[in-house]
Structure formats: structure tokens, C-alpha cells
Amino acid sequence: MVSKAHRINFYRNHQLGLQRDGTVVLKSCYDLWKTCYEQESKLIKESIGSRSLKFHHIGSTSVPNLLAKPIIDILGIVSDLKDLDTNKEALLNLGYKYKGEYGIQGRRYCTLYDEKEEFGFFHLHFFQNKNPIIEAHLRFRDLLKTHQNFKQQYEDLKKDLVFTQKLNRSHYTAAKSELIQKILES
């Protein structure tokens, strides 16, 4: 298995990682991030060893040419969350923090930080099959990929929140929810 330190260096070289100080940085490095997603999701799947586990690259890093926080969101779909809870040691061995539901019922949330926990690199969001949150994440990603006007609206809002309003990370995330809902309802 590739060590956590080696993976973190690889990800930093691929323009990934956001400092955990509350600030928001936006970058556009889709091709690099796609490689990081593919590598990490393969490693997780091999470590967990579940044939029923499926992964999807979600969030802004999954959309070509869209400014994004340099943290990759991975959506994991499992047949039973209890199996994941029982097997969480595999994720811990990869260096992930296993945070349980972490505010969203029916989710298992994990994060990959550097050794000092100053930078975040991956957010894993596991849900059980048929959870409606899965469809919302995939639909939003796909709408941004296929509708230039939605992608542009979303990017314009993100730029305004970061460069003009200079919102911190929690306010930035909250300020995007109205537009996200509007796009999902289209």
C-alpha cells in the first residue's frame, strides 16, 4: 500500500489541498484532480474490498473548467452502512478520519488531512443505496457539466463570494445553497 505521506505529496503536486484555516481558495485543475480522484477511489475500494461499493466524483472538482476549492468530494454508495461501520478500520489505515454521520442522517463522512491536519484533501460521503441525497449530488454535478449557463451562474456566485465578499468557508458554503437548490429544481 502507498503510504499516506507519499499520497499527500502526490496530491500536493497535483494542486490539491486546502488549508483548514477557514479561508476559501478557488482553482481550476480538473485534469489533475480527475487523476487524484481515480487513484484515491481505487485505493479505497481495494482497501475496503466490497464488490458492491461504487464511487462517483462529485462537487466542483468533478466539473471540467469550473473553479473549485481544491478538495475532492467522493460519493461512495454501499449496500449497508453497518458493513462500512464494521469495516471502518480500512479507512483509518489509509489515514482517513472517520466522523460518522457528521450532521447528515444516513451518511458516513470521512476526511483525509495531512499529518498535522492543517490541509484537507478528500471528503468521503458514503450513503446507502437509494438514499435520495445520492441522486441530488449526481444530478447537480451532471447539470453543471451539461448546461453552460448553470455552470457559469455557479462559478460567478463562487467568485463573488470569495473575491468580492471574502466570505469564510462556512458562510461560503451556506451562501451557495439557494442557487444549488434553484439549479436542482430546473
- Reported as a single tens digit per residue, the pLDDT across 49-93 is 877 899 999 999 999 999 999 999 999 999 999 989 988 999 999
Task: Write down the pLDDT at residue 101.
Answer: 96
Residue 52 Cα to chain centre, angstroms: 20
Question: Which SS3 state, helix, strand or coil, does residue 52 take?
Answer: coil
Rounded Cα gap, residues 137 and 144, in angstroms:
11
Task: Write down the pLDDT at residue 17.
Answer: 97
All cell numbers assigned to 30: 480538473
H/E element, 58: strand 54-58
Listed residue (19, 114, 117, 122) closest to 75, CA to CA:
122
Domains along the chain?
4-184 (3.30.460.10)
At 124-169, the pLDDT tens digits run 999 999 999 999 999 999 999 999 999 999 999 999 999 999 999 9
All cell numbers assigned to 46: 481495494
Listed residue (49, 91, 87) closest to 74, CA to CA:
91
Alpha carbon dihedral 131, 58, 34, 52, in 10-degree steps, equals 0
Rounded Cα gap, residues 34 and 142, in angstroms:
15
Residue the block writes with cell 457539466: 145
Rounded Cα gap, residues 2 and 125, in angstroms:
22
